Structure 1
């Protein structure tokens, strides 16, 4: 996606989240071509191992417009946040600006390779600052280096459009990198003049195995309208991916439902347990906070009926077996919390019938029943 930068080496260094703070080198000479209205920008950059690093991304921006520069020491600047994650179809990138606590609308880019996504995000950032920025292709962004210091950007040939800076300009942008800071829980200032040390990889928010619990209220057409409650435990594999199977075990009980007959009535209720599987997850928004899951479930339990208004009152219980197919729409206002809406069809394996002698039916299970649920779930990291 739901920060990675290869500042550490080896397979264990899967991802790093970096904040790149850019400032002019005190030894560098000012560029006579720099525009006086150039906007200072700081960069928060996250990408998987093997992707172009933060320096390469900033080079993509400065190669397209001269209206972006590194901030001076202590100068306030707008921040651009870039996050690239790997998904089943390739790579997905998100970008937004932040200034004074206000965030812009996020922009999303999807591509087959990380280089394509980073290059496209560089174009998005450049056009957001300078609508007249060059849209001509630039040199490919270089993959991140295993060294603890960002490598200088490769010189970029000058395309025909006048707005594209010369190789000297791109080299100066690369030389203006002053420090690289790890941001696992926020930016950590690096000592002045000291080379940044490699940081431990940051754990991502997608692709993880998670456990969860939840509660729900249910209504079904098993006997008119039957209200019920249920609680569940959940296991989710590879959370955030398309192939993200989830499994639930649930228990529930209905409220009493009264059924009338010509010579009496009966109170009926269900007590059930269920196992459920949802093989895939469809993200309905670029942020992944709205998702849809198709699911199937098997329910086992008991149906209980207690008669009233008759001479021979004898309660009865029967086994209850049913198969269910459902769709689950879930919204996550925060990463660990989900609000869920289920709709589905339940098919009993047997159609149990309760009746009064000499054969007056008081209840017969339907061949199929529709149901809906509204629930809240919590997932743990």
Structure 2
């Protein structure tokens, strides 16, 4: 009578996981894949997704180099963690993913494989009762029943996979916010220096073509110190909108982005008998390169040179004289740098 009580005590220290496994038929089956995980951590026990503390999804597909595997670990209230492995054989990739999974969910997991336990002795908790498997004799089903049950499970897995993919994509849309420091050549006679704030949205995939990568920055620029007077001093307040359809690299990557700049260009007279000021709309269109380095999970540093053509040509002078004291450049250029905090 002491054995059930002992089993319940052991179950209390377990790590309950929902385990999903997808691989070609040439690979080991789901039971063997879970065994590789369980033999490194006896605390791991399978349960339903509702009762699971952690969700593990292991997917293996063939590619040009052999096989590529992805492990996704999801914990309540946290962003999913992904690990990728490649190898010449499917079993090699599955073993690497199982080791990574064991070390991720259990700090006490062993690198080496433990002995194989008899079927049912691992304590799979699929019914969520908390009782270890193997204490009671499982009911056997007929061959037809097994086929029906397998078809139902496959349909449920397909639905769950579709739902997980959608929620994973939503969860991996990343918002970044941070300061901007910019130096620009907008006018023929001087440089402009200033700063602002940048908002960026990045997609989950590291694809080269057409990734989701969009940015909006709001900032102000003013002329660097001018020693000549009388003169006009110009200031620009505006926003930059960029979408980057080309991206190369992973944590350190380069983007090529069409960019548009919209805002108000203000000119104020300095050193004249009467002070005057005027404000005009100003817009540019061009390209910028964006180089970003991921310093940590939440912090990025970036640098972005740009080359733009003004869509509006502006000239400023002081009445009544016809002399043009300041005019926008035929080609505008600039360089910006900043940091982004990822949410």
**Structure 2-normalised TM-score?**
0.56
Contact 2:234–2:267 (8 Å) recurs in 1: yes
The one-character-per-residue Cα deviations of 1:10-42 (angstroms, maximum 9, x if unpaired) are: xxxxxxxxxxxxxxx99xxxxxxxxxxxxxx98
The count of corresponding residues between Structure 1 and Structure 2 is 269
Secondary structure in structure 1 of the residue aligned to 2:32: helix
Question: What are the equivalent positions in structure 2 for 1:315-354 lying under 5 Å apart?
Answer: 315-329=278-292, 331=294, 338-350=298-310, 354=316
Q: CA deviation at 1:345?
A: 1.8
2:220 matched to 1:254? yes
Q: Is the 8 A contact 1:305 1:354 kept in 2?
A: no
Superposed CA offset, 1:28-78 (max 9, x none): xxxxxxxxxxxxx9896855434645530355589xxxx97957x9xxxxx
Q: Which residue is equivalent to 2:333? A: 368
Offset at 1:217? 2.1
Residue 91 of structure 1, CA deviation: 2.6
Matches within 5 A, 1:168-317: 172-181=117-126, 190-192=130-132, 193=136, 201=160, 203=164, 208-209=169-170, 213-223=175-185, 224=191, 226-232=193-199, 234=201, 236=203, 239-242=204-207, 245-248=211-214, 250-257=216-223, 260=226, 261-280=228-247, 282-284=249-251, 292-309=253-270, 310=272, 311=274, 313-317=276-280
In structure 2, the CA distance between the partners of 1:264 and 1:83, relative to structure 1 (3 Å rule), is: same
The partner residue of 1:55 within 27, 31, 34 is 31
CA contact (8 A) 2:292 2:300 kept: yes
In angstroms, what is the RMSD of aligned CA positions?
Answer: 5.1
CA distance in 2, matches of 1:255, 1:343: 18
- Higher percent of residues as helix: 2
TM-score (norm 1): 0.51
Q: Point out where structure 1 has 5 or more consecutive residues left out of the alignment.
A: 1-24, 27-40, 74-80, 97-105, 134-164, 183-187, 285-290
Tell me the alpha carbon deviations over residues 270-329 of structure 1, each in whole angstroms, 9 at most, x when there is no partner: 313413124446334xxxxxx535140321313412213223624142422132322242
1:7-86 residue pairs with structure 2 within 5 A?
Answer: 46-50=19-23, 52=28, 55-57=31-33, 59=35, 84-85=58-59
Structure 2 unaligned regions, length at least 5: 5-13, 46-54, 74-81, 103-108, 140-148, 186-190
Alpha-carbon separation, structure 2, partners of 1:264 and 1:325: 32
Report deviation, 1:221. 1.8
